Amino acid sequence: MVSRLSKKKEATYDFLAFIANKKNAFLTARMAGLESSQAMKYEYFPPIGTGSIVEWENQGWDKADATSFLQAYYENLTLPEQQLYLRIPGAAEYWHELDVRVSSVLAGQKTPKAALDDIYQAWEQITERYGRENQKRLYIESYAY
């Protein structure tokens, strides 16, 4: 997907096409995780895709690990509920605050309620810094609602 606001649509498309070709997509999938290439069908093993365990083994992957990794990733991508990418200024800041607070709960340092209260406060500060109305407008525009 190329943003309609992009100033370099053709260059962006060319880059995405380059990354998505089978050789490059496989390289990024095995080295950086499938999220880097959005998991093309040919990376999965049959019956889901046309990938080959030999390709993964040739790159040093254990057969069971590669199979488990690809199956788990595919199951996540096919869940009925999906989290949309946040495409507004400060997106990384929002996710950072969420990650830190969830980690504090998982580590037993905070209660879920306290962490949610902290997330609310942090997100409010981020939103105010970028401008609430601007964030709303950009969020709506980013999903073309």
pTM: 0.53
In terms of phi and psi (left: phi > 0; alpha: psi -120 to 50; beta: otherwise), the region of 49 is beta
Interacting residues of 50 by C-beta distance below 8 A, sequence separation 6+: 41, 42, 44
Question: What letter represents residue 108's amino acid?
Answer: G
Q: Record the tokens describing residue 105, joined without a space.
A: 């709960």
pLDDT in tens, 1-34: 677 788 888 888 887 777 667 666 666 665 555 4
The answer on pLDDT for 121 being more than 80 is yes
Distance CA 1, CA 30 (A): 22
